[in-house]
Structure 1
Amino acid sequence: MFAVVRTGGKQYRVAAGDKIVVEKIDGEAGASVTLGDVLLAGEGSELKPTDGLTVAAEIIAQAKGEKVIVFKKRRRHNYRRKNGHRQNHTILKIVSIGAAEKKAAPKKAAAKKAEGDAPAAAEA
C-alpha cells in the first residue's frame, strides 16, 4: 500500500519501510511521528479513501543538508557578497500506513457519567 503525504510544504509518495528526507520536524532520534495530512492512498492502481488515514513514521536522525553558496555581485561597483546556508532535515522511516487509532478515554468518561446518574435516580 502507498500513500501521498504532505509535510513541510512538499508532497512525498511513501510505502511501509521507505526512508524519506523531509523538512525539520521536532523530536529526537527514535521518536515516533504521525503524519496526518494524507492526500492520496491506494494499492497498485486502485485508490482508497483517505478519511481518517494516517502514516506512522519513526525519526532516524536529525541532519543538515548540503551547503548552498549564495554569491551576489554587481559588476563595476566592487560589490561582492558570499554567503552559505545549510538546511535542517529530518530523516524518517515509514513504519505503517493505516487508520488513526481512536482513544478509549471518551468511552470511560461516558461510563463514569452514566454511573453518576444512577445514584441521583435512586435518591429521587
Structure 2
Amino acid sequence: MFAIVRTGGKQYRVAAGDKIAVEKLAGEAGDTITLGDVLLAGEGDSIADATKVSVSAEIIAQAKSEKVVVFKKRRRHNYRRKAGHRQQMTLLRITDVGEGKKAPAKKAAAPKKEAAPKAETEAKAAPAKKAPAKKAAPKTAATKEPAAKKAPAKKAPAKKAAPKADETK
C-alpha cells in the first residue's frame, strides 16, 4: 500500500520500508512518529479513503542537507559576497502504511444516578473558584495602566556654541 503525505510544505509518495529525508521534525533518533496529513492512499490501481489511513515512521537521524553556496557579485564595482546554508532535515524510515487505529466517535451515554450528584457538586464549586479570579484581574490591570501612561523623558536642549573672539585686533 502507498500513501501521499504532506510534511514541511512538500508532498512525498511513501510505502512501507521507504526512507525519506524531510524538513526537520521534533524528536530524536529511534522515536516513532505519525505523519498525519495523508492526502491520498491506495494499492495498485485502487484508491483508498485517505482519512482512514495513517502513516507511521521511525526517525533514523537528525542531519543537515548538502551545503548551498550563495555568491553575489557586481562586476566592476569590487562587490563580492559569499554565504552558505545547510538546511536541517530528518531522515525517516516508513514503518507502516495502513488502516489507522482511530477510535470511533463515542456517543454520550446516559449518566448514572451516582454520577449526577458529583457533577452537580463540581458545577457548584467551579463558579465559586472563578469569582475571586475575576475580582483580582481588575487590580492587576489597574496597576499596569499607570506604568504604560508614563511620559517619555525629555531631552535637554542642545547647547549653542560660544561666540568666537574677534581676530581683527
1:66 maps to 2:61: no
TM-score normalised over the length of structure 1: 0.83
Structure 1 unmatched runs, 5+: none
- Give the equivalent residue in structure 2 for 1:50: 50
Identity, in percent, stands at 66
CA deviations 1:43-86 (Å, max 9, x no partner) are 11111111232100010000111111000001111000000111
The count of aligned residue pairs is 115
1:98 maps to 2:98: yes
Pairwise CA distance, 1:93: 0.5
What is the CA–CA distance in structure 1 between the aligned matches of 2:22 and 2:115, rounded to whole Å? 55
**Equivalent in 113, 125, 130 of residue 118 of structure 1:** 113
Pairwise CA distance, 1:6: 0.6
Q: Deviating runs (4+, > 6 A) in structure 1?
A: none
More helix by share: 2
Given the superposition, is the C-alpha separation of residues 98 and 73 from structure 1 closer, same or farther in structure 2, using an over 3 Å criterion? same
More strand by share: 1
What is the CA–CA distance in structure 1 between the aligned matches of 2:115 and 2:51, rounded to whole Å? 40
What is the CA–CA distance in structure 2 between the aligned matches of 1:66 and 1:51, rounded to whole Å? 35
Moved more, 27-36 or 50-59: 50-59
Give the structure, 1 or 2, with the largest relative contact order (CA under 8 Å, sep 6 or more): 1
Moved more, 58-67 or 44-53: 44-53
The 5 A counterparts of 1:12-91 are: 12-91=12-91
- RMSD between superposed Cα atoms in Å: 2.2
Pairwise CA distance, 1:103: 5.3
What is the CA–CA distance in structure 1 between the aligned matches of 2:84 and 2:75, rounded to whole Å? 21
TM-score normalised over the length of structure 2: 0.62
Give the number of the structure whose alpha-carbon radius of gyration is greater.
Answer: 2
Given the superposition, is the C-alpha separation of residues 118 and 89 from structure 1 closer, same or farther in structure 2, using an over 3 Å criterion? same
What is the CA–CA distance in structure 2 between the aligned matches of 1:29 and 1:5, rounded to whole Å? 21
What is the CA–CA distance in structure 2 between the aligned matches of 1:29 and 1:64, rounded to whole Å? 14
